[in-house]
Homo-oligomer: A and B are copies of this chain.
């Protein structure tokens, strides 16, 4: 899916949730798309400042939060960063592998794992918030 189609799909997703892919949000989404892996909020902030002059932290955090809320981005807690989700249209349960060395990201289907997970948490009466699961480690190119 190229960038144009991706952004159109993002627009549809926003509309389906009663919102809009505003200029700012589109700009932030494009910036994150421009990175191969994990991006940090303050990196996006710096890019924004370069591209459009003034910008402050709340501006970028609000856009990132919105995009993550509806699944266009995933937050990677372990790295204080964000990654683009390329599968938000097919409602998926994604297993995300984020490499700590190179910042690269891979997103897998892992239905069996999630099924096993949800059985286990249900037994404890626990409802996980995130529908995606992020593991950090070393990718195949960065093995020690």
**Could you tell me the distance between the alpha carbons of A127 and B100 in the complex, rounded to whole angstroms?**
11
Kindly identify which residue among B78, B97, B113, B117 contacts A124, using a CB–CB cutoff of 8 Å: B97
Complex copy number for this chain:
2
Query: Residue of B at shortest CB range from A110?
Result: B120
| B129-A108 in contact (CB<8A) | no
A139 within 8 A of B: yes
Which of A54-62, A66-74, A82-90, A130-138 lies on the face that meets chain B? A130-138
Interface of A, helix, strand, loop or mixed by DSSP: mixed
A16 within 8 A of B: no
Instruction: Count residues on chain A whose CB falls below 8 Å from chain B CBs.
Output: 30
| A120-B129 in contact (CB<8A) | no
| A128-B124 in contact (CB<8A) | no
**Could you tell me the distance between the alpha carbons of A77 and B108 in the complex, rounded to whole angstroms?**
21
A95 within 8 A of B: yes
Chain B nearest CB, measured from A133 CB (Å):
8
**Could you tell me the distance between the alpha carbons of A138 and B137 in the complex, rounded to whole angstroms?**
26
| B95-A108 in contact (CB<8A) | no
**Could you tell me the distance between the alpha carbons of A54 and B33 in the complex, rounded to whole angstroms?**
46
A52 within 8 A of B: no
With A77-B77, A108-B120, A116-B116 as given contacts, are A143 and B127 in contact (CB-CB < 8 Å)?
yes
